[in-house]
Amino acid sequence: MKATGIVRRIDDLGRVVVPKEIRRILRIREGDPLEIYTGNNGEIVLKKYSPVGEMSQIATEFAETASSILGGTVAVSDTDTFVASAGKLKKQFCAERIDKELDHVIQSKGRFFTEKKLVVPILAQGDAIGSITILPGESKSLGEAEMKAAQIGAEFIAKQLYS
């Protein structure tokens, strides 16, 4: 673990404030779920929880299936990183952090759609928890079929989390 030099006290309700600098670096926002567990040497570890990351096997199977049918690249992300990808540009997404543009689309809970890129947020119980990104195959443009596939994937992954 990396030492930060920041010390915080526990208040009478057992709360600790996570410093703003650390929240900004780790993209932790108000309301984000944190996983709490203990380390081997008596540490208390806080880890940003990713429900989409927990579903990486289903996300991978969706990305592979959609990519093979649509002929493009399909990537699934949580609110921090890409958890699954398939298609010709798969390596471009593999375990990469999402950029500010994608983060903005996810947080706005709106779709982004051009002929060369499609992003549909994954919404679970009204919260934005990730996204489906589709890029077209060579010499192709994105259309209604890709939009429907992304919507189905986003809703399917969201439903799997709460079933």
Tell me what pLDDT residue 35 has: 84
Axis-axis angle for helices 56-70, 144-161 (nearest 10):
170
Average pLDDT over residues 21-38: 84
Q: Cα–Cα distance between 42 and 35 in angstroms, integer?
A: 16
Tell me what pLDDT residue 151 has: 97
Q: Cα–Cα distance between 45 and 26 in angstroms, integer?
A: 14
Q: In the chain, pLDDT over 90 holds for what percent of residues?
A: 52
Q: Does residue 61 have a pLDDT over 90?
A: yes
Q: Does residue 29 have a pLDDT over 90?
A: no
Provide the pLDDT confidence category of residue 6 given band limits of 50, 70 and 90. confident
pTM, 2 dp: 0.75
49 or 80, greater pLDDT: 80
Tell me what pLDDT residue 113 has: 95
Average pLDDT over residues 113-126: 93
Q: Does residue 87 have a pLDDT over 70?
A: yes
Q: Does residue 1 have a pLDDT over 70?
A: no
Provide the pLDDT confidence category of residue 11 given band limits of 50, 70 and 90. very high
Tell me what pLDDT residue 23 has: 86
Strand (E) or helix (H) holding 154: helix 144-161
Average pLDDT over residues 48-65: 85
Closest CA to 29 of 121, 96, 106, 122: 106
- Judge contact between 52 and 78, C-beta under 8 A: yes
Tell me what pLDDT residue 153 has: 95
- Judge contact between 101 and 117, C-beta under 8 A: no
